[in-house]
Amino acid sequence: MTAADATTVELFQQDWKLYRKMVDNNFLFHREAYAALHEVLINDAARPFRFLDIACGDASASVGALRGTDIAHYHGIDFSGAALELAGKALTELNCTVKFEQRDFLEALAGVVEQVDVAWIGLSLHHLQGMEKLAFMRTIRNVLAPGGLFLIYENTSPDGEDRENWLRRWDLQKPFWTAYSEDEWNAMAAHVHAADFPETDATWHTLGREAGFASVREVFAAPTDLFRLYGFSK
């Protein structure tokens, strides 16, 4: 089983710099989202905690969120070798044990997975569609220790908005992405139009409850309201 369509594989395995430019320019509000993650880790996570970073990419934003927390173990999963090479360097500054898996995250999580206290997925769960998201969230719940937390920063629609209108709003970002050339914008837009499946706020809450989580809460919404951060407690 795999969660990746062709545009996802191409974009993240062959052209990591294009994604990096998006992060460096804060086009998707990584700074604010990962600052919010840091606050949750400080205030609500077990002490010490084991952290699972699903689709970790180069882990640079995660390391920023984990700095100064009581992390004991970091486990990153991503299928991009280029990204994992950078992640390995970024993780050296944290005082914890580290494990990486270069694999499709659905395959990795279908196997034997060590229990963790916090599971995090940043901007990658939206590649799955409806029922696949639910099955995935049930799998994550089983990987969490009692009292564990699942946190996501993902494509979200206000209630009542469909995918077509979410994509229309996504396209409205173009004038603000001044660091991107026309070709770079087109490559990213093609990927998002092919592979991104947002959920409404109400659906995220329903998915959380149906996956068996005791509570769901919204932690942060991007100023564009294209992305929101949710916390699901076991």
Ligand X SMILES: C[S@@+](CC[C@H](N)C(=O)[O-])C[C@H]1O[C@@H](n2cnc3c(N)ncnc32)[C@H](O)[C@@H]1O
Residues that bind ligand X (CB under 6 A): 2-4, 8, 12, 19, 23, 55-57, 61, 78-80, 83, 104-105, 122-124, 127
Minimum distance from residue 168 beta carbon to ligand X (Å): 20
CB-wise, 45 or 65, nearer to ligand X? 65
CB-wise, 100 or 232, nearer to ligand X? 100
CB-wise, 44 or 132, nearer to ligand X? 132
Contacts of residue 186, defined as CB under 8 A and 6 or more positions apart, other chains included, come to none
What is the SS3 assignment for 85?
A: helix
Q: Any idea which residue has 């809450």 for tokens?
A: 205
Other C-beta atoms closer than 10 Å to the C-beta of 156 total: 25
Q: How far apart are CA 224 and CA 221, in angstroms?
A: 8
Minimum distance from residue 164 beta carbon to ligand X (Å): 21
| Shortest-Cβ-distance residue relative to ligand X | 122
Q: How far apart are CA 26 and CA 228, in angstroms?
A: 15
Minimum distance from residue 146 beta carbon to ligand X (Å): 26
Q: Any idea which residue has 């993902």 for tokens?
A: 154
Yes or no: say if 73 and 103 are a contact pair by the CB < 8 Å rule: no
CB-wise, 83 or 91, nearer to ligand X? 83
Minimum distance from residue 166 beta carbon to ligand X (Å): 16
CB-wise, 53 or 201, nearer to ligand X? 53
Minimum distance from residue 169 beta carbon to ligand X (Å): 18
Q: How far apart are CA 232 and CA 234, in angstroms?
A: 7
